[in-house]
Amino acid sequence: MYRRAYTLLIGTAALMLGLAVFTAWKLDRRLLDPEGSFLGPSYIRLPLLLLGALLLDLLPLALWKAHGRPSRVVPVVRERLKTHWTKERATLVAIGVISFYLTYVSYRNLKSFLPFVRSDPDAEPGVVKALSYDRELHIMDRVMFFGHDPSDVLHAVFGTGLTAHVLSPVYLIFLPLVPLGLTAWLVWSRNLSFGYWFVTSQCLAWSLGTLSYYLLPTLGPGIAFWPEYTSLAHTGTTDLMDSIVNARGNVLYGGATQSVNSIAGFASLHCAITLLIALMVQYTLHSKLLKWIFWVNFGLTVIATLYFGWHYVADDLAGIAIAIVAFYVGGIASGQKFDRHLHSHPTTTTSKVPVEVD
């Protein structure tokens, strides 16, 4: 039933991993786990992640339905395993988590390798200088804003104090939003095809984002034109930008081999992933409140990327395009059908994989 989704999902992860391994070999550098090693090596972390997904589903449910009686916990768990954790669900979670993990780790490493792969041809011999198209995209921004920098307009309209403190959490919540969204659709989606849709689209989006970095490498306005953003209030976003700038310096010029470079502007994956999640909520959930929350989150994220100088306008537009492509292709691969009004109609309509209807 999900052969196309299997093929695209596993193929995307394998391609990304292959590119990361090949690039590391060519550059004589090591592949790194960007999230650190607090859970140990990958052969330990992956089983822990899978076990964590299982426990995250079973424990709260068991505690809720057992009403504090230990004797009821085992029957509740046994019933959940029988009715929800079928072979198909376990396959979805295992393939989804592993494929996304490999795609994301490969993405972070390929992003880190970018300055060495696409170096400035005008740099002096022996000098590491990354190729950058910041000047061109900065000019495009000024043209679109009639001679003004987008940051100047946004700072004048919204101010540089309270708004910075409001938008900073919106930008930073992206970090936990990705694994939480992945877990939600893989573990709790009643329709298995929605789980394949979400994780396949996610892997495609991160892969297309990686490709965009190599096609048009940039630093982003907040780094390339940092004086434009010095008036902003100090927030967690400020600390994040400072930390990745320092990490990039250590990787490029300090000989650091145990850290990754996390700077690449084009395209905005913050915009891509938040839009992708908003689209998935719109098409697979019925809660109007959740739809409003995630569409507002996407809109505020777009503003935040420009306000803090993470991205140019072209970066955000490219991120939106990536989300739409990944969403549609992932939908087709997982068996969705779209009508003229852009409504989706999953083809998995058996009793085992119920389709929720309004």
Distance CA 52, CA 46 (A): 10
Task: Decide: residue 342, CB within 10 A, 0-12 exposed, 13-18 middle, 19+ buried.
Answer: exposed
Q: What are phi and psi of 178, to 5 degrees?
A: -65, -55
> In this model, does residue 125 exceed pLDDT 80?
no
pLDDT digits (tens, 9 = 90+) for 31-53: 887 765 444 555 566 667 667 77
> In this model, does residue 152 exceed pLDDT 50?
yes
341 lies in a domain? no
Query: Are 275 and 320 within 8 A, CB to CB?
Result: yes
pLDDT above 70 covers a percentage of the chain that reads 84
pLDDT above 90 covers a percentage of the chain that reads 40
199 lies in a domain? yes
Distance CA 219, CA 221 (A): 7
Which pLDDT value is given to residue 41? 54
Residue 342 Rama label (left phi>0; alpha psi -120 to 50; beta): left
Which pLDDT value is given to residue 261? 83
Distance CA 209, CA 111 (A): 10
129 lies in a domain? yes
Instruction: Count the domains in the chain.
Output: 1
Query: Are 268 and 315 within 8 A, CB to CB?
Result: yes
Arithmetic mean of pLDDT, 134-161: 90
Query: Are 357 and 344 within 8 A, CB to CB?
Result: no
Query: Are 106 and 19 within 8 A, CB to CB?
Result: yes
Task: Decide: residue 69, CB within 10 A, 0-12 exposed, 13-18 middle, 19+ buried.
Answer: exposed
133 lies in a domain? yes
276 lies in a domain? yes
Which pLDDT value is given to residue 39? 46
Query: Are 325 and 283 within 8 A, CB to CB?
Result: no
40 is in which domain, residue-wise? Answer: 3-333
CB atoms within 10 A of CB 70: 8
In the structure encoding, which two tokens stand for residue 303, read together?
């503003």
pLDDT digits (tens, 9 = 90+) for 202-217: 999 999 999 999 999 9
187 lies in a domain? yes
283 lies in a domain? yes
Closest CA to 303 of 161, 207, 208, 164: 164
Please give the residue that has the higher pLDDT: either 340 or 8: 8
Residue 266: C-alpha distances to residues 95, 219, 226, 324 (Å): 29, 8, 17, 16
Closest CA to 281 of 290, 272, 271: 290
57 lies in a domain? yes
Residue 205: HSE in the Cβ half-sphere, 13 Å Cα cutoff: 30
> In this model, does residue 241 exceed pLDDT 80?
yes
Residue keyed to tokens 């295992």: 94
Query: Are 330 and 207 within 8 A, CB to CB?
Result: no
